[in-house]
């Protein structure tokens, strides 16, 4: 993956992930909310750290929006601990995402569980992507060394398996990156439905505004994860097409493995290797 992708993964997975409030119906109280608000700490499970990450201000804002979203959720849970009511369902409207429309209290508990699961799963999935993808640049550098010096027979024997290994790592990472996108979209659907029903009839404008703010921040997060997944797809297609073509050309039986041909092929590969690294 590109430098952009790896840095973004680490910002989300290791520096900007918060612990959401772990509320159930039994401990849905002011004291419980205050306790879990104190658990709003940055979660850093990385063994290594990226020094001086270089991301644009917009991307940093999007990544940081998960902290803001969790703060909004905690405020919403405080409100839900003080009151409970049934949603007003318009005639002909089919509730799709709220499990218990007769209780705002239980709906906020459902939302808390969904958000916590999405953030936790994203951290685990993105850590797996990083662990797998950090092997790719080393594999590529080894292949370049072989291209520079190895005889044709050795290249013919090693290159197909080496490329298959890299392709498997890239494809596995892409599959993993699709899961957070789906999880975040499901949470956004739930928040959007809550926002819609409160907008139809709500006697508490502050409550509606809190839900609206939460939806806004979660929309940023969902957009970030979607962009990440799309960027991974584009990088995968570009990498596999370009790299596979170059390798096939390199091991053509009719191609002379002169020093000039070797250097030419390596020069074609270097920009992609640098991008992946």
Q: Kindly state the average pLDDT of the residues 160-187.
A: 80
User: Are 196 and 107 a contacting pair, CB within 8 Å?
Assistant: no
Asked if residue 190 has pLDDT above 70, the reply is yes
Q: Rounded distance, CA 240 to CA 229, Å?
A: 16
* Angle 264-275-139 from CA coordinates, rounded to 5°: 75
- Position 133 scores a pLDDT of 72
- State the DSSP code for 241: H
User: Are 170 and 239 a contacting pair, CB within 8 Å?
Assistant: yes
Closest CA relative to residue 74, chosen from 132, 21, 119, 143: 21
User: Are 151 and 266 a contacting pair, CB within 8 Å?
Assistant: no
Q: How many residues does the chain have?
A: 277
Where does the pLDDT of residue 3 fall: very low under 50, low under 70, confident under 90, or very high at 90 and above?
very low
- Between 178 and 39, name the one with better pLDDT: 178
Asked if residue 251 has pLDDT above 50, the reply is yes
Q: What is the signed CA dihedral for 234, 236, 240, 246, rounded to 10 degrees?
A: 70
- Position 191 scores a pLDDT of 94
Share of the chain above pLDDT 90, in %: 11
Asked if residue 109 has pLDDT above 80, the reply is yes
* Angle 211-12-110 from CA coordinates, rounded to 5°: 35
* Structure tokens that stand for 59 in this block: 């991307």
Q: Kindly state the average pLDDT of the residues 239-253.
A: 70
Helix axis angle, 259-276 relative to 136-149, nearest 10°?
A: 170
Phi/psi class of residue 258: alpha, beta or left (left: φ > 0; alpha: ψ in -120 to 50)? beta
Q: Please write the tens of the pLDDT for every residue from 40-98.
A: 333 433 333 333 344 445 445 555 666 667 777 777 777 777 778 889 898 899 999 99
- Between 172 and 99, name the one with better pLDDT: 99
Q: Rounded distance, CA 21 to CA 65, Å?
A: 16
Asked if residue 239 has pLDDT above 80, the reply is no
- Position 16 scores a pLDDT of 38
- Position 168 scores a pLDDT of 81
- Between 157 and 36, name the one with better pLDDT: 157
Q: Rounded distance, CA 19 to CA 26, Å?
A: 20
Element (H, E) at 66: helix 57-82
Task: Give, rounded to a whole angstrom, the gap between the first and last alpha carbons of the chain.
Answer: 8
- Position 65 scores a pLDDT of 61
Q: Kindly state the average pLDDT of the residues 231-253.
A: 71
CATH number of this structure's domain 3-132+173-234, picked from the four choices 1.10.357, 1.10.260, 1.10.287, 1.20.58: 1.20.58
| Residue entry with tokens 């409100």 | 79
- Position 216 scores a pLDDT of 87
């Amino acid at each position: 993956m590109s430098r952009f992708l790896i840095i973004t993964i680490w910002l989300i997975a290791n520096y900007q992930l918060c612990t959401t409030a772990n509320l159930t119906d039994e401990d849905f109280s002011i004291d419980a909310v205050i306790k879990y608000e104190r658990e709003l700490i940055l979660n850093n499970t990385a063994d290594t750290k990226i020094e001086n990450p270089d991301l644009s201000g917009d991307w940093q804002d999007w990544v940081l929006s998960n902290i803001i979203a969790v703060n909004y959720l905690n405020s919403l849970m405080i409100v839900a601990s003080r009151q409970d009511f049934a949603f007003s369902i318009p005639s002909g409207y089919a509730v799709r995402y709220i499990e218990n429309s007769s209780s705002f209290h239980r709906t906020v508990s459902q939302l808390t569980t969904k958000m916590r699961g999405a953030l936790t799963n994203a951290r685990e999935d993105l850590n797996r992507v990083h662990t797998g993808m950090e092997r790719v640049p080393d594999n590529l550098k080894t292949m370049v060394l072989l291209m520079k010096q190895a005889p044709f027979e050795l290249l013919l024997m090693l290159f197909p398996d080496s490329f298959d290994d890299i392709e498997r790592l890239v494809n596995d990472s892409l599959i993993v990156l699709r899961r957070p996108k789906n999880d975040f979209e499901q949470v956004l659907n739930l928040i959007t439905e809550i926002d819609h029903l409160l907008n139809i009839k709500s006697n508490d404008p502050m409550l509606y505004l809190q839900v609206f703010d939460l939806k806004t921040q979660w929309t940023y997060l969902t957009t970030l994860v979607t962009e990440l997944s799309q960027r991974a797809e584009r990088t995968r297609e570009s990498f596999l097409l370009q790299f596979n073509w170059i390798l096939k050309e390199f091991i053509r039986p009719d191609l002379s493995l002169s020093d000039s041909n070797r250097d030419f092929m390596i020069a074609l590969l270097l920009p992609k290797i640098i991008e992946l690294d």
